[in-house]
Amino acid sequence: MKACTAEPGGIVLSRAGRDRNRAFVVVDVIDEAYVLIADGALRTLQRPKKKKRKHLLDGSEARMELGPHTLDADIRTFLRSQGFSNDRKE
């Protein structure tokens, strides 16, 4: 399995776990194996998810500028603007 090349602000898709097929923005890189991700809805900036890179796919070339004033609503809007919808249709 090839690990994703995620960088802060990049879009990734989860391919494993209960959040499979959801789009996220990489908030921070912990080390070569783990990153912190948030989608602004289930996983907020205050509670990002620690996820292994090998469980993620690169989602898009687009990058979001993350700063100290970035809000969860900004992440949701950015993901929607890039064509990623995290609505669950079960």
pLDDT tens by residue, 50-68: 999 999 998 888 899 998 9
Closest CA to 49 of 79, 15, 26, 73: 26
Is pLDDT of 10 > 70?
A: yes
**Token representation of residue 3:** 């690990």
Closest CA to 44 of 58, 27, 67, 30: 27
- Ordered by start, the domain boundaries in the chain are 10-81
Model pTM score: 0.87
State the CATH class of domain 10-81: mainly beta
